[in-house]
Amino acid sequence: MKYAFRIFFAFIFLGLSLPATATVTAQLDHDQVGPGETVQLTLQHDGQTDSQPDLGPLKQDFQIVGRSSGSNIQIINGKMKSQVQISLMLLPKRSGKLHIPALQWDGESTPFLPLEVSSSGVSGPSGNASAGNAPTGNAAHVFVTATPEQKQPYVQAAIPLTVRIYTDQPLYQASLDLQPNNDVLVQQLGQDRQTNETRNGTSYQVIERKYLLFPQRSGKVQLDGAVLNAQVQDTRNNNDPFGNFGSIFGRNPFAGMMNATRPIRIQSDPVVLNVRPRPAGFNGGDWLPAQNVTLEESWQPGNGPIHAGDPVTRHLHLSAQGLTAAQLPDLGQLMQLPDGLRAYPDQPRLNNDARGNGIVGTRDQDIAIIANTPGRYEIPALHLVWWDTEKNTQREINLPARTLDVLPGSGGVAISTAPPNQNIDSSGRPTVSTSLNATENSSTNDRWNWISLVFAILWLGTLSAWWLSSRRHAKQPPARSSEPMMPAVSAPRVAEARKAFQQACRNNDAPAARRRLLDWAHATWPQDPPTGLKALAERLDDETFKPLLHQLDRACYTDGKWQGAALLELKTLPAREKPAAPSGMKLAGLYS
């Protein structure tokens, strides 16, 4: 009897301990879904716990797109009962017969749960079409298509791609994404467009978005399909936004007051392209695959005489249908100039314009051309080779050659790097000359003779006054000044003055450039600053800048346009100062 009582009490204690043993269960709200649909997995743990289940096995076939958790504690007849629930929103990664694997939680395992993901448009009341294809059976509620305009493009050519979202129900928090990769670049084109379309008797709202694809290598390349992430109304749980948690918290007090939503993820079929390489027969420098390319030019001034040191601006306009502006070449590097001409290109202006299913890239550039010596210059023709992707042939654009007849500087004396006793004839060769240029006439000579005489008289008068003043002050002891001598003008720092001068050149502001250049010279030679640009030019070692300073000086007193690009090459001023001349002998420059 003693052993019988022991066995009886053992069974009693064992029965009391069973409810305290942790039990883990798993449940799916559906065992069949369509592609792009989510399924809700509920994990329940009897008894309190601070640990979390191991969800790693789920990641092989599912993506976890949502997660929530809750707990419930009940005390009935003095006994406490607790439960912990975790709800997971799972998105299948593929179609077919899948299963929820066993998950470990506090040493317990959940059971295997089968799940079928259909690959057709039939998937119950909330079914979706197969990824990327229009439904062929029963109508799907949401599906996405991606259609390239051509499947055998040339490398680096733009391929229009149209992505369409078909839906017969409202979408909430929707986003569409098309990710590039190392083989294909992606650029969105324009704005989305909304239309309506009827398929298989079902009316759909269609959201259309355009992209441009740029394959970066030849051969077979693949781009993952466009992905739609959105929320749709969930009618599977009777509009209960808390799902299976009603079993924990009792009746949901908010049921019927709001519509629950669930996430969906729809992906179109991958985009596969067979990219053709650059043709072997193409002999152009820059690879330009396009539907159409145009190149235009204009000159300023278009006609009239050109003098040495005067800039001539060449404006080039390049337009390509099917290419972006960033793909267009630098025309300044394609232009060849003969010796004696120098080019100063401005910053190009790039623009992309969406037209229809494609893009038109444009590049506008101004190039200033300056001749330092007179003569006749032949600018060669400009050739641009491109590939016609519609006709599969090479094409070429030619801008004709242009001849520039450059006259001597407008000051009357030829601006040249030749020795002072040489002039330049019409063929550009130096000739010996002992007189002024033939363009000087007798009236000009007379005017300068009178000006020279007036300056000589003024100089003699100033010299006499200085001599008398020096004798008078020699008889008197010099007065001591109680204050230190201060300079009359506070010269700006060299770096600041040079920076201000360069900015004025970029702005093509002739008066500001002249003023800032003299400030720069004043900071460089504070003891003997030049009084004008003519005096400044005499101090420069590089003969190239003398005609440019003459042109700047002339532009300050005329209404003509001035281009400051050439003077940006003036980086430094000579540090060596010339001896200061007596104050009474200092004369202002001609244009100061």
Question: How far, in Å, CA of 556 to CA of 546, rounded?
Answer: 16
Which residue type sits at 147?
T
pLDDT digits 0-9 by tens, 15-41: 444 444 458 888 888 888 877 778 889
Q: Of the ranges 185-199, 247-261, 531-545, which one carries the lowest mean pLDDT score?
A: 247-261
Residue 132 has what pLDDT?
A: 42
Domains 22-117 and 289-407 equal at CATH topology level:
yes
Using pLDDT thresholds of 50, 70 and 90, give the confidence band for residue 558. low
Residue 195 has what pLDDT?
A: 93
Better pLDDT: 392 or 492: 392
CATH 2.60.40 fits 142-275, yes or no: yes
Using pLDDT thresholds of 50, 70 and 90, give the confidence band for residue 367. very high
Domain ranges of the chain: 22-117, 142-275, 289-407, 491-585
Residue 51 has what pLDDT?
A: 86
Place of tokens 């992309």: 352
Question: How far, in Å, CA of 413 to CA of 433, rounded?
Answer: 12
22-117 CATH pick, 1.20.1250, 1.20.1260, 1.10.3470, 2.60.40: 2.60.40
Q: Please check the confidence at residue 119 and state whether its pLDDT lies above 60.
A: yes
CATH 2.60.40 fits 289-407, yes or no: yes
Residues 6+ apart with CB under 8 A from 569: 544, 545
DSSP for 505-529 reads HHTT-HHHHHHHHHHHHHHH-TTS-
3-state secondary structure of 386: strand
Using pLDDT thresholds of 50, 70 and 90, give the confidence band for residue 581. very low
Mean pLDDT rounded to a whole number for the chain:
76
Q: Are strands 108-109 and 104-105 parallel, antiparallel or unpaired?
A: antiparallel
pTM of the model: 0.55
Q: Please check the confidence at residue 409 and state whether its pLDDT lies above 70.
A: yes
pLDDT digits 0-9 by tens, 417-457: 333 334 444 333 444 333 334 334 444 455 666 676 777 78
Share of the chain above pLDDT 70, in %: 73
pLDDT digits 0-9 by tens, 137-188: 445 788 999 999 988 999 999 999 999 999 998 999 999 999 999 999 999 9
545, two tokens: 């800048």
Residue 221 has what pLDDT?
A: 94
Q: Please check the confidence at residue 466 and state whether its pLDDT lies above 80.
A: no
Q: Please check the confidence at residue 287 and state whether its pLDDT lies above 60.
A: yes
pLDDT digits 0-9 by tens, 56-76: 888 888 888 888 888 888 777
Residues 6+ apart with CB under 8 A from 165: 142, 144, 171, 174, 176, 206, 207, 208, 228, 266
- HSE-up (13 A, CA, CB side) for residue 57: 13
pLDDT digits 0-9 by tens, 300-315: 887 777 888 888 999 9
